[in-house]
């Protein structure tokens, strides 16, 4: 579970500076979770 939380935290921190790309980041998160 910690790996998923780390990925989520990293994407959230990344998205703070790139709010226009939030939808793309969410898609990346969904893909990452699907792989895990």
> Taking the CA atoms of the chain, what radius of gyration do you get in angstroms?
10
**3-class SS string, the chain:** CHHHHHHHHHHHHHHHCCHHHHHHHHHHHHHHHHHC
Q: What's the rounded mean pLDDT across residues 17-27?
A: 74
State which residues form the domain around 9: 2-35
Q: What angle do CA 3, 24, 4 make, to 5 degrees?
A: 10
22 vs 29, higher pLDDT: 29
4 Cβ neighbours under 8 A, 6+ residues apart:
32, 33, 36
Q: Give the model's pLDDT for residue 24.
A: 83
Task: Read off the pLDDT band of 20 (50, 70, 90).
Answer: low
């Amino acid at each position: 579970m910690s790996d998923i939380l780390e990925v989520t935290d990293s994407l959230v921190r990344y998205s703070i500076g790139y709010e226009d790309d939030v939808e793309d980041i969410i898609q990346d998160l969904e893909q990452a979770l699907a792989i895990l």
